[in-house]
């Protein structure tokens, strides 16, 4: 870790401690206790699912593969990491604790999960224990006190400068892999082949990625979460939508790009129009801006593009009012991102709880908060040709709002999504994705 990063990490820990102090006080607890999580097994089977670390644990330490370990924080004391390094010849054992984080923690190595009990606080009833039920050891069963969780999750939306650096690093990896994926697409690879090229360039296996890669050629781009990955390329190849991220010490990036095979065609022009609109939306990631408004504004921008490309017959305003724009753009404009690709507390009204409602008619929006410095969000407008949703327009008597000949012309290309990760600041937004593509 560079000296600068080391100092950012120290500041990050100070922020986490301050947050924990307040959260514990609100909940009336003496200690924060966070299990890293335990392996899950398939039903009636001895095969484990990929291990996913408790996000409340990896917020403190850059350790994403350390099951059955614990973080303990008592206000006024150094945080403690109870670090499981089992005697095990079946699996790779976590190496001895090392890294910059070690100097900030009291670290105790244990050899069995039960040994943790010797190092956890005396009275579990005085502890806020954050985790899943199956992390229980002895009387230490996660209780997830709502007042504590609400406070920590609400504030996790505000990334520390250290976290922004980790997300910047994740973005650089993701962009490197996106470039390799585009090369594979241009070389005629299948969806599966492109996915492998992506993983190779990211140097991350599929289970290391923050979410399942969406690698879609042609009409598959219209399936929002398409994860099948055909082993053979279609004939002809027309278009490519890739929504793929990467992780760095537990932080995610979430990036989508869309390409036309023939860069001189009308689908490329539609992508270019979406790109211009998406950049304008990214510029709205400003202190005090209601993310719900950003989503609603996006509908109007996309409806204007639909009009410009002759896909709708009504005005953009009417297309938004009647729900025609939602048939082409049926998901939210984005979500918070950080330790989780869909970060928590998207609807939190305050750090004491409460829910900020979604705008009526927009059930898939994942973030309804007002933007403030430190918040990291995705901006991911889409425009798709989804038969099911277009048929529903006809059923609702809105068929005449659409130029079906134009829809037929674009349908074989599937759809478009362009997604960047953007950090709200005191001034201009910081677009981590564009920054990485520009490097």
Smallest gap from Cβ 26 to ligand GLY, in A, equals: 31
The pairing of strands 239-248 and 214-217 is antiparallel
Nearer to ligand GLY, 165 or 419 (CB): 419
Smallest gap from Cβ 328 to ligand GLY, in A, equals: 17
Give the H or E element holding residue 288.
none
Query: Is 237:188 a contact under the CB 8 Å cutoff?
Result: yes
Smallest gap from Cβ 106 to ligand GLY, in A, equals: 38
- What's the CA angle centered on 54, arms 87 and 212, to 5 degrees? 105
Nearer to ligand GLY, 111 or 225 (CB): 225
Site for ligand GLY in 327-356 (CB under 6 A): none
Residue 227 interacting with ligand GLY (CB under 6 A): no
Give the H or E element holding residue 336.
none
Buried b (16+ CB within 10 A) or exposed e, 33-58: bbbbbbeeeeeeeeeeeeeebbbbbb
Q: Does residue 360 have a known ligand-binding role?
A: no
List, in sequence order, every residue forming a beta bridge with 212; answer none if it has no partner.
Answer: none
Which partner in Mn ion, ligand GLY, none is near 211 (CB below 5 to 8 A by kind)?
ligand GLY
Q: Which range in 176-184, 219-227, 302-310, 414-422 contacts Mn ion by CB under 5 A?
A: 414-422
| Measured distance CA(325)–CA(382) in Å, rounded | 11
Binding residue for ligand GLY (CB under 6 A) from 165, 254, 351, 420? 254
Task: Name the region of 99 (left: φ>0; alpha: ψ -120 to 50; beta: rest).
Answer: left
Q: Does residue 419 have a known ligand-binding role?
A: yes
Residue 254 interacting with Mn ion (CB under 5 A): yes
Binding residue for ligand GLY (CB under 6 A) from 243, 351, 420, 421? 243
Q: Does residue 254 have a known ligand-binding role?
A: yes
Please work out the total of residues on this chain that contact Mn ion, with binding judged by CB under 5 A: 5
Smallest gap from Cβ 136 to ligand GLY, in A, equals: 32
Alpha helices in 203-342 (DSSP H): 266-282, 291-308, 316-322, 324-328
DSSP 369-438: SBP-TTBEEEE--EEE--HHHHHHHHHTT-GGGB-HHHHHHHGGG-EEE-BEEEE--SSS-EEHHHHHHH
Q: Does residue 119 have a known ligand-binding role?
A: no
Binding mask 377-406 for ligand GLY (x = CB under 6 A): ---x--------------------------
Smallest gap from Cβ 351 to Mn ion, in A, equals: 24
Smallest gap from Cβ 224 to ligand GLY, in A, equals: 9
Residue 176 Cα distances to 12, 378, 424, 433, angstroms: 27, 19, 24, 11
Nearer to ligand GLY, 36 or 368 (CB): 368
Binding residue for Mn ion (CB under 5 A) from 153, 163, 219, 243? 243
Nearer to ligand GLY, 74 or 222 (CB): 222
Site for ligand GLY in 167-226 (CB under 6 A): 211
Smallest gap from Cβ 279 to ligand GLY, in A, equals: 18
Nearer to Mn ion, 368 or 378 (CB): 378
| Measured distance CA(115)–CA(138) in Å, rounded | 10
- From 233, 421, 223, 408, select the one nearest 337 (Cα to Cα): 421
Owner of token pair 């059930």: 363
3-state class (DSSP) for residue 249: coil
Please work out the total of residues on this chain that contact ligand GLY, with binding judged by CB under 6 A: 5
Which partner in Mn ion, ligand GLY, none is near 343 (CB below 5 to 8 A by kind)?
none
Site for ligand GLY in 127-166 (CB under 6 A): none
Nearer to ligand GLY, 218 or 433 (CB): 433
Smallest gap from Cβ 257 to ligand GLY, in A, equals: 12
Owner of token pair 């291990």: 51
Binding residue for Mn ion (CB under 5 A) from 171, 378, 401, 431? 378
Owner of token pair 């986490």: 16
Q: Does residue 299 have a known ligand-binding role?
A: no
User: Measured in whole angstroms, how far is the alpha carbon of residue 108 from the centre of its chain?
Assistant: 32
Nearer to Mn ion, 253 or 327 (CB): 253
Nearer to ligand GLY, 244 or 390 (CB): 244
Cβ count within 10 A of residue 290: 15
List, in sequence order, every residue forming a beta bridge with 245; answer none if it has no partner.
Answer: 254
Q: Binding-site residues for Mn(2+), please? A: 243, 254, 335, 380, 419
Residues near ligand GLY, by CB under 6 A: 211, 243, 254, 380, 419
Residues near Mn ion, by CB under 5 A: 243, 254, 256, 378, 419
């Amino acid at each position: 870790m560079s000296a600068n990063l080391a100092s950012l990490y120290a500041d990050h820990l100070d922020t986490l401690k301050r947050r924990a102090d307040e959260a514990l006080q609100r909940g009336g607890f003496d200690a924060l206790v966070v299990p890293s999580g335990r392996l899950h097994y398939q039903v009636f089977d001895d095969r484990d699912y990929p291990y996913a670390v408790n996000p409340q644990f990896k917020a403190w330490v850059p350790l994403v593969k350390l099951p059955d370990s614990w973080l303990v924080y008592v206000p006024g004391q150094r945080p403690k990491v109870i670090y499981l390094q089992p005697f095990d010849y079946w699996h790779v054992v976590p190496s001895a604790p090392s890294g910059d984080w070690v100097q900030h923690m009291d670290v105790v190595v244990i050899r069995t999960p039960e040994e943790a009990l010797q190092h956890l606080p005396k009275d579990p009833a005085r502890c806020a224990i954050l985790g899943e039920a199956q992390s229980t050891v002895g009387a230490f069963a996660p209780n997830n006190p709502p007042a504590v969780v609400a406070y920590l999750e609400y504030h996790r939306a505000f990334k520390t400068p250290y976290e922004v650096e980790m997300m910047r690093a994740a973005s650089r990896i993701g962009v490197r892999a996106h470039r390799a994926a585009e090369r594979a697409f241009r070389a005629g690879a299948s969806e599966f082949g492109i996915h492998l090229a992506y993983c190779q360039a990211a140097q991350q296996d599929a289970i290391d990625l923050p979410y399942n890669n969406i690698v879609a050629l042609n009409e598959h781009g219209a399936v929002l979460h398409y994860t099948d990955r055909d082993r053979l390329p279609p004939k002809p190849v027309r278009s490519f939508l890739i929504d793929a991220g990467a992780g760095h010490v537990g932080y995610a990036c979430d990036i989508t790009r869309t390409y036309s095979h023939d860069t001189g065609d009308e689908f490329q022009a539609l992508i270019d129009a979406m790109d211009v609109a998406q950049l304008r939306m990214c510029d709205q990631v400003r202190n005090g801006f209601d993310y719900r408004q950003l989503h609603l504004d996006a509908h109007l921008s996309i409806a204007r593009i639909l009009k410009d490309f002759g896909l709708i017959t009504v005005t953009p305003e009417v297309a938004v009012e009647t729900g025609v724009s939602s048939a082409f753009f049926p998901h939210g404009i984005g979500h918070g991102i950080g330790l989780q690709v869909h970060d928590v507390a998207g609807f939190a009204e305050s750090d004491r709880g409460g829910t900020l409602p979604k705008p009526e008619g927009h059930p898939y929006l994942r973030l309804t908060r007002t933007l403030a410095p430190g918040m990291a969000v995705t901006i991911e407008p889409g425009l798709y040709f989804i038969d099911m949703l277009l048929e529903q327009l006809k059923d609702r008597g809105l068929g005449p709002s659409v130029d079906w000949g134009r829809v037929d012309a674009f349908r074989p290309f599937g759809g478009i999504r362009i997604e960047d990760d953007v950090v709200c600041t005191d001034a201009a937004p910081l677009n981590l994705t564009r920054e990485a593509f520009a490097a």
